[in-house]
Amino acid sequence: MSRRNTPSRIKSNRNYTVIDVSETLGVHPKTVRNWIRVGLPVVDSKRPLLINGADLKVHFKQKRSAIRFNVAKHEMSCFRCQGAMKPNIESVQFIEQPAGMALMKGVCNECGCRMNKYVSWRDVHEIWLELKGKLPIAQKHIILRDQNLSNYPFSGVSSDEK
Ligand SMILES: [Zn+2]
């Protein structure tokens, strides 16, 4: 157990292959591929897949706090409140990441701390509905890498919501 999931061995400023991560952390490569499947971002879609060390650290921090704080899909970990908090709806942004992921950013409704988490694009609509109800998501909350809404994962984007 002590050798497993030790993110302190990971250096933020380098990229790792699946095998590198597996060897550094003492886990099976299948485990690493599974992390990618459930949300660990990869640098781009080229092979071999590369994982950024900083992303890997965030992934572990998120995983640990998600368990500790029991974070729901639409909630985020606030390290000041020490719990699962809802972000302020106006502050929420979903920033497109490679491999079908989004970086969700927002500030804590209670204390105003910045919070980040990685989510799947597939879940963005559901998260938004949980937070905001029936109103369509406004374009300002969505940051796409090429700003082309045609690859936007769901319909009902509103560009004029205040
Ligand atoms: Zn807070």
The CA 148 to ligand 1 mean position distance, Å, reads: 33
Distance from the CA of 26 to the center of ligand 1, in angstroms? 34
What's the rounded Cα separation, in Å, for the pair 141 and 162? 11
Q: For residue 132, how far is its CA from the centre of ligand 1 (angstroms)?
A: 19
Give me the architecture of the 1-69 domain, per CATH: Orthogonal Bundle (1.10)
- How far, in Å, from the CA of 139 to the mean position of ligand 1? 26
> Tens of pLDDT along 99-130?
788 999 999 999 999 999 889 899 999 999 99
Residue 89 alpha carbon to ligand 1 centre in Å: 14
Query: Which residues lie at CB < 5 A from ion ligand 1?
Result: 78, 80-81, 108, 110-111, 113
Distance (angstroms) between ligand 1 centre and the Cα of 12 equals: 26
* CATH 1.10.10 domain span(s) along the chain: 1-69
The pLDDT score that the predictor gives to residue 128 is: 94
Q: Report the pLDDT value the prediction gives residue 60, as an integer from 0 to 100.
A: 85
Q: What is the pLDDT of residue 161?
A: 41
DSSP the chain: --STT-GGGS-TTSEEEHHHHHHHHT--HHHHHHHHHTT---S-SSSSPEEEHHHHHHHHHHHHHHHHHT--TT-EEETTTTEEEPBPGGG-EEEEETTTEEEEEEEBTTT--EEEEEEEHHHHHHHHHHHHTTSPPBGGGEE-SS--GGG-SSS--BSS--
Per residue of the chain (162 residues), give pLDDT as tens.
444 556 788 999 999 999 999 999 999 999 999 888 777 888 887 889 999 999 898 888 888 888 888 999 999 999 889 999 999 999 999 998 877 889 999 999 999 999 998 898 999 999 999 998 777 888 889 998 776 555 555 544 554 443
CA of 18 relative to ligand 1 center, distance in Å: 34
